Structure 1
Amino acid sequence: MKFSTTLKALGLTAAVALAPLTVSGAQAAGTLTVATTIDPGSWDPIDTFLVPWSSAATNMFDGLTARGADMKLQPALATSWEFLDNNGRIRFKLRQNVKFHNGEPFNAEAVKFTFDRLLGDEGKKGPQQSNYNSIAKVEIVDDYTVDFVMKQPDPVLLTKLAGYGGMIVPPKYIQEKGDAHFNMNPVGTGPFKFVEYTPKVNLVLEAFPEHWGGAPKLDKVVTRFIPEANTQVAELQAGRIDIATLIPFGLAPTVEKSPNLNLVSITGPTVVALRLNTKDGITKDVNVRKALIMAVDREAIIKAVLLGHGKPIASFQSELSFGNDPTLKPLPFDLAKAKQMLQEAKVPAGAPVRIDFRGNDATFREVAQAAAGYFQALGLKPSLQPHEPPVLLNDIIPNGKTGEAWHNAWGGWTFDYDNTAYLMYHSGEKWNPYDNDPKLNALLEKQRTIYDTKEREKILQEVARYVADQALEIPLYNQNTVLGVNKRVKNFVPPADLRFRFNDVTVE
């Protein structure tokens, strides 16, 4: 890995070695093999929020709506929808002649069962229920029409219905077999049907020729659970997997140079920031916070640590996010100006700045080292405090135990700034341990009541500008989604959110 002179002076190092090849046996033609990092442990849509679940399960299930790799929302199991009763009711017309993989018919009863279950006792056990709590109930109008009666407006609902908890499940199958059986033996209406699941090893799907969207071109899709990045790359190079979803930045050039592989690097949902403690220490002062932002050369970090696989951000969202303001520019890197601002704020030399971060994130460890180096150049005394992720996420941050800065990485598959901003900046939220800003609260609450996209976008952009003006965080970068793909894979359009849909994919 090659570093810029600036970051070399900070002592960054990185060494990544290929793991030995351990798994044998190439896949048959007509079979696509994908490596993902985590076995979700359950294939029930209401049991998880994990991207690896969606990477595989989006091929087994359909929602009322769908979102393609082009990010556009489109009809799926619902062919159309309209807002009634001053937006208090959403009426969906359902697709006819659709079957679940077990032969059970899809109809209004299946939709009502899915959401009664999601919003009831079974849904309480998982993490998805809170995403759909704006729905009071689902009413059947006729066999192929349902009404969603709303407790409150939810302008992101149509997008939510395209994924995760909103996936439609078969009533009779679940009632007869039970939830535990469904977790391990899922049935949906998607283009591929469940064949076999070996925990911690793989999930095997085969084509469902009767899919309403047409028969897939592949015979099988195999998802292998490989948590180690080096092993994924090694298996990809050996031809034993076709798509690797975990490519370390340090190995991206290796994949790129391999004659049988393509490196795919596209804008994704993941953004990374150093959030700032606005309650204690030197970072109570907004001008000190702005000085810290200006002291960090984010372009250099992207070039040296991410090897260019990322973009600077002005707010905590990607350029694909609804609510992103392209006219908002990040504060520039200006160490001299930052020093002057600290002097004007009467910050003593050697004042402490602690950075809390996820200790298992090797990439961010280098980013944190770089940030510490810049803070040291500013005349401060930085320290790095790694934590086990559950400790940082469930104790240190929500209980306000951080130092002056802490590591925050966020995705948000909806690509809607509300999914980030409300959780980060509204008072009382888990990820906002320090602030209670009435103006910010009011803006965040107002946009949730508005279905008009232009009006709502203006408010979200105002939120982003206000957060930037208050310098609540050091926005670092939008990290690219990086994949390794075997050249034998054809017609594959990589989605930014890794929610793969393999209907049109073929392998040679």
Structure 2
Amino acid sequence: MSGIGQLSKREFVSLMLGLPATALLPDLAAAQASGTLNIAFPVDVQSWDPTSVTFPLGQSIYKSVFDSPLHYSPDQKLLPRQIKERKWLNDDRTRLEFTLQDNILFHDGSPLTTEDVKYSLVDRPQKDKRLAVAGLLQDLKDIEIISPTSGVMVFSKPSPSVEFYLGFLCCYILPKAYHQSVGDDGFLAKPIGAGPYKLVDYQRGSRIVLEAFDKYWGGVPPIKNVTFQALTEASTRVAAIESGQVDIAVQLPFREAIRLQSKPDLSVKIYPQAEIYMLQVPSYVEVLQNKDVRTALHMAIDKQALSKGFFAGTAKPLSILTTPGSSADIPGYSFPFNRAQATELLKKAGYSQAKPLRLTLLCPNGSFPNDYEISQAIAAMWRQIGVDVKLEETTIAKYLELNHAAKLPGIMFYSWANATGDPENYAGRILNPNLRFSAWKEPSLVERIDKLFAMKLSEERLDAYRALMKEASDNSWSIPLLQTVGNIVTKKTVEIPTYTPGYVLPAEATRKA
């Protein structure tokens, strides 16, 4: 037998029992007002400056308050949004002309113009390199203003894939005049966007209260009031939706989502996401600089067993840093699971059951479906080959802080979202040592990835990414695990579309009679 089949009975039971069926709920009475859409959400926002953080889980909230220049459809097609038209002016892809919608207003009633676009995507990032948008759009050097609703983005080098990011992370448009008048702290205390909802109340770590913006350029949302409840414990989200205290709950443990399918008053959607479970491997942790150690750790993980044990086989095991069937997938390539060979490789590196490798595995608990339980299972698999694993629970905010500062004490379990579906935002950004997203910082990859970033969208480019991803897996610079399987549970009276990036957009929700 292999994988979980070889775990002790005690370990197997402890890994598979899941979260408790009941949990102590916070007081949600204030959010039960008539007509309010209550959403049990796994996280709070990290910051009310959406250009400052790379925070996939928070995009549902940011898109609700700030909107976005472009937008991905539920089936991952890139569509117009605040930018209604765009075209490249040269073959080198260094000049992108764009036209805004004519009637976009910020929540204070002021118009959103090209000046605001330039301020948000060029001026602020150039002054403050700590902003996440500064790294994402590092080659955007200027925006030439043609009119209040049109301009040209000017890049220092070919940037053919930049359009992908205008609908994804960080590229939000802030009101220049308001931001300059109140400053950073004032904006964080009272943020203003141009999205379908405006923020009316915020209690950190508890709830985000939104109200429909009656002058939203895309039309007033059908549901006027929305409350995101920050319920970080997965069991609490389960209890909240099961008891009827919320209308929507997301990112529930898989077995709980399956169980709730039998509830006549609930609707459960389970769907594959444009997101991957992976292990971030920091190159600056000394023991992980040994290739035999990294390969052993990778080879000891029975990914199929993880899928069967936690997702009833619906989560597809991964061998490279992309989702199956995506543009840069490598059909037929498979990284092997082989516990015996993993044990031998660890022995070759000087470790054994008698002299175990000591390693920290950091993981969130409840941020992603079954994140902590999967990490427990991986730790158990590693112990079987001679690894003394310290499982350390952490938050996504703390992980991002440590990773951006290159201070991770060990391997980190993470779920990497990629609404674009493009390999640049998988391997290109996960492995680029110049970007703060990366944990494996191999200097020799800088020039190689920079060339990939500048290549025209072509099969040659995809082949180059395939080669990079295969090399990354062969060397275990990063360890891909599973394609994520998302879930959303709603009352039968609520309808909301699912997105492969996992967005929950209340502006698109409706109530059924």
TM range (shorter): 0.7 to 0.9
- Aligned sequence identity (%): 24
Q: Among residues 97, 109, 112, which one is paired with 1:91 in the alignment?
A: 97
Structure 1 position 505 matched with structure 2 position 509: yes
Q: Counterparts of 1:374 and 1:279 in 2: how far apart (Å)?
A: 21
The alignment's TM-score, normalised by the length of structure 2, stands at 0.83
- Distance in 1 (alpha carbons) for counterparts of 2:184 and 2:439: 37
Q: Separation in 2 of the partners of 1:63 and 1:9?
A: 50
- Determine if contact 1:450/1:456 at 8 Å carries over to the other structure: yes
Q: 1:105 aligns with which of 81, 106, 111?
A: 111
Check the 8 A contact 1:70/1:495 in 2, yes or no. yes
Shift of 1:52: 4.6
Relative to structure 1, is the Cα distance of residues 188 and 91 closer, same or farther in structure 2, using a 3 angstrom cutoff? same
Counterpart amino acid of 2:38? Answer: T
Distance in 2 (CA, whole Å) between partners of 1:42 and 1:73 is 26
Partner of 2:144: 139
8 Å Cα contact 2:351-2:357 kept in structure 1: no
User: What's the offset of the Cα at 1:336?
Assistant: 5.7
Change (3 A) 1:165 1:348: closer
For the residues of structure 2 that align with 1:369 and 1:98, how far apart are their CA atoms?
Answer: 48
In structure 1, runs of 5+ residues without a counterpart are: none
Alignment partner for residue 155 of structure 2, among 130, 136, 150? 150
Q: Provide, for residues 106-159 of structure 1, a one-character-per-residue CA deviation record: whole Å limited to 9, x for no partner.
A: 3222322333443243x4454332212211111101232211111223333212
Q: Specify the alignment match of 1:53 in structure 2.
A: 58
Classify the secondary structure of the residue corresponding to 1:162. coil
Distance change >3 Å, CA 4–CA 384, structure 1 → 2: closer
Q: What is aligned with 1:224? A: 229
Q: In the superposition, relative to structure 1, how do residues 258 and 79 fare at CA in structure 2: closer, same or farther (>3 Å)?
A: same
Flag the 1:485–1:435 CA change in 2: closer, same or farther, 3 A: same
**Contact map agreement 1:23 1:235 (CA 8 A) in 2:** no
* 344-353 or 48-57: bigger deviation: 344-353
Structure 2 matches for 1:478-493, cutoff 5 A? 478-490=483-495, 492-493=496-497
Take 1:504 and 1:334, find their aligned partners in 2: how far apart are those partners?
46
- Give the letter aligned to residue 352 of structure 1: P
Q: Are the equivalent residues in 2 in contact too, given 1:37–1:227 (CA < 8 A)?
A: yes
How many Å apart are 1:66 and its aligned residue?
1.5
How high is the TM-score relative to the length of structure 1?
Answer: 0.84
Q: In the alignment, is residue 394 of structure 1 matched against residue 402 of structure 2?
A: yes
Alignment of structure 1 residues 455-470 onto 2, 5 Å: 455-470=460-475
- 2:388 alignment partner AA: S
Offset at residue 306 of structure 1 (A): 4.3
Task: Please say if residues 25 and 240 of structure 2, whose CA atoms lie closer than 8 Å, have aligned partners that are also in contact.
Answer: yes
Change (3 A) 1:425 1:314: same
Q: Would you say the 8 A contact 2:335–2:474 is kept in 1? A: no
Provide Cα deviations, 1:453-478, integer angstroms capped at 9, x if missing partner.
43322221121122233344543222
Q: Deviations over 1:257-280 (max 9, x none)?
A: 332223332223132237497996
The equivalent residue for 1:16 is 19
Distance in 2, matches of 1:358 and 1:246, equals 19
Q: Deviations over 1:175-216 (max 9, x none)?
A: 444443332333322222333333333222222343332332
Between stretches 361-370 and 67-76, larger displacement belongs to 361-370
What does residue 76 of structure 1 align with? 81
Distance of aligned partners of 1:110 and 1:369 in 2 relative to their CA distance in 1, 3 Å threshold: closer
Equivalent residue number for residue 302 of structure 2? 297
Distance in 1 of aligned mates of 2:470 and 2:209 = 46
Q: Following the alignment from structure 1 to structure 2, what is the Cα–Cα distance between the partners of residues 48 and 102?
A: 24
Match of 1:34 in 2: 39
| Distance in 2 between residues matched to 1:147 and 1:108, nearest whole Å | 9
- The alignment partner of 2:506 has SS state of coil
Aligned equivalents of 1:370 and 1:298: distance in 2? 10
1:356 aligned residue = 360
Seen in structure 2, the aligned counterparts of structure 1 residues 463 and 41 have a Cα distance that, compared at 3 Å, is closer
Asked whether the 8 Å contact 1:314–1:328 carries over to 2, the reply is no
Matched residues, number: 495
Question: Equivalent residues in 2 for 1:177-216 (5 A)?
Answer: 177-216=182-221
Gaps (5+ residues) in structure 2?
none
CA gap of 1:73–1:441, structure 2 versus 1, over 3 A, is same
CA–CA distance in 2 between the matches of 1:395 and 1:346?
Answer: 26
User: Per the alignment, in what secondary structure is the counterpart of residue 155 of structure 1?
Assistant: coil
Q: Identify if the C-alpha distance between structure 1 residues 398 and 157 changes in structure 2 by more than 3 Å, giving closer, same or farther.
A: same
Equivalent of 2:259, from 251, 254, 258?
Answer: 254
Cα distance in 1 for partners of 2:291, 2:173 equals: 49
Q: Does the 8 Å CA contact 2:285/2:409 hold for their aligned counterparts? A: no
Indicate conservation of the 8 Å contact 2:84/2:101, yes or no.
yes
Spell out, residue by residue over 1:371-412, the C-alpha distance to the aligned partner (whole angstroms, 9 max, x if none). 4554565xx42211234644897389946965xxx3342414
Aligned-residue CA RMSD (Å): 3.6
* Shift in Å, 1:58: 0.6
- CA distance in 2 between partners of 1:74 and 1:119 (Å): 25
SS at match of 1:90: strand
Q: Does structure 1 retain, via aligned residues, the 8 Å contact 2:359–2:390?
A: yes
The 1-side partners of 2:8 and 2:260 are apart by 25
